[in-house]
Amino acid sequence: MKNTEQHNKRTRLSQRVLKNYELYLFLLPAVVLIFCFHYLPIYGVQIAFKNFTLAKGIWGSPWVGLDQFFRFFRAFQSRVVITNTLILSVYGILVGFPLPIVLALMMNTMGSQKFKRSLQTITYMPYFISVVVLVSMINLYLAPTGLYGQIARAFGVEPVNILNFPEAFRHVYVWSGVWQGMGWSSIIYMAALSSVDPAMYEAATIDGANKFQKIVHIDLPSIAPTCIILLILSAGGILSVGFEKAFLLQNSLNLSRSEVINTYVYKVGLQQAQYSFSTAVGLFNNIINFAILNIVNFIARKVGETSLF
- pLDDT-derived band of residue 137, with 50, 70 and 90 as boundaries? very high
Cβ–Cβ under 8 Å, residues 194 and 201: no
- Per-residue pLDDT, 3: 62
Q: What is the mean pLDDT of residues 130-144?
A: 90
On the CB side of 299, CA atoms within 13 Å amount to 9
Q: Which of 59, 66, 25 is nearest to 44 (CA)?
A: 59
24: left (phi over 0), alpha (psi -120 to 50) or beta: alpha
- Per-residue pLDDT, 60: 87
Residue 279 pLDDT greater than 60, yes or no: yes
- Per-residue pLDDT, 2: 54
Q: Which residues contact 298 (CB under 8 A, 6 or more apart)?
A: 307
- Compute the Cα dihedral for 173, 175, 180, 185 and give only its sign: positive
Q: How far is the first Cα of the chain from the last one, in angstroms, to the nearest whole number? A: 32
- pLDDT-derived band of residue 4, with 50, 70 and 90 as boundaries? low
Delineate the domains of the chain, giving CATH numbers in brackets: 50-136+166-304 (1.10.3720.10)
For the chain, the average pLDDT equals 87
Cβ–Cβ under 8 Å, residues 149 and 143: yes
- pLDDT-derived band of residue 42, with 50, 70 and 90 as boundaries? confident
- Per-residue pLDDT, 252: 87
Cβ–Cβ under 8 Å, residues 169 and 91: no
pLDDT digit string (tens) for 162-213?
888 888 999 999 999 999 999 998 989 998 888 888 888 888 888 888 888 9
Q: Where are the alpha helices (DSSP H) in the chain?
A: 2-19, 21-34, 57-60, 67-74, 76-96, 98-108, 113-124, 131-142, 147-154, 166-194, 198-206, 211-214, 220-236, 243-249, 255-258, 261-266, 275-304
- Per-residue pLDDT, 171: 93
pLDDT digit string (tens) for 9-22?
777 777 887 888 88
pLDDT digit string (tens) for 211-265?
889 888 899 988 888 888 888 888 887 877 778 899 999 988 899 899 998 899 8
- Per-residue pLDDT, 247: 92
Q: Which residues contact 217 (CB under 8 A, 6 or more apart)?
A: 204, 209
Rg (CA), the chain: 25
Residue 113 pLDDT greater than 60, yes or no: yes
- pLDDT-derived band of residue 270, with 50, 70 and 90 as boundaries? confident
- pLDDT-derived band of residue 112, with 50, 70 and 90 as boundaries? confident
Neighbours of 182 (CB within 10 A): 21
- Per-residue pLDDT, 100: 92
Cβ–Cβ under 8 Å, residues 234 and 296: no
Residues recorded for the chain: 309
Torsion of Cα atoms, 34 then 36 then 40 then 42, to 10°:
-40
Q: What are phi and psi of 63, to 5 degrees?
A: -75, 140
Q: Which residues contact 178 (CB under 8 A, 6 or more apart)?
A: 92, 95, 96, 99
Q: Which of 42, 40, 44, 20 is nearest to 32 (CA)?
A: 40
